[in-house]
Amino acid sequence: MHDPDAQPFRLALELVREEIVAAVHAWREGGGSDDELALFVDALHPGKPRVSTSTRLQLERTIPDFDPTIAIAFAKHVPGKVPAVVDVRDYVRRVVWIDLTPPFTW
């Protein structure tokens, strides 16, 4: 992310970097495909953001406050990266593509 409004999203992701890495490893160990993986980072509430995993289709269907742009963002599939839907208080939700090559950059 290179725009000036990206800072809150970058901070939310940095706060849960270890959780993101652990979630991706657990997903893979459970037989999940990187092509299907989607992360959800919930930083709407006080305290540390929460990270969860699901398939992209499941996340599209179950994300709080349904957002039709999620499907459009997921359709832009970026090879070697996984989408993370990031919710930050007082900001519009964003999809950030995370590089699956360590150190997992965005």
Q: Does residue 56 lie within any of the structural domains?
A: yes
What pLDDT is attached to residue 100?
87
Q: Does residue 67 lie within any of the structural domains?
A: yes
The whole-model pTM stands at 0.89
What pLDDT is attached to residue 68?
81
Number of domains in the chain: 1
Cα atoms found within 13 Å of the Cα of residue 6, Cβ hemisphere only: 11
pLDDT in tens, 55-79: 999 998 888 777 788 888 888 888 8
Q: Does residue 78 lie within any of the structural domains?
A: yes
Structural domain for 31, as ranges: 4-99
Q: Does residue 69 lie within any of the structural domains?
A: yes
Query: Cα–Cα distances in Å, from 76 out to 22, 42, 63, 83?
Result: 25, 22, 19, 10
- Low-confidence stretches of the chain (pLDDT < 50) are 1
Q: Does residue 83 lie within any of the structural domains?
A: yes
Q: Does residue 63 lie within any of the structural domains?
A: yes
What pLDDT is attached to residue 1?
46
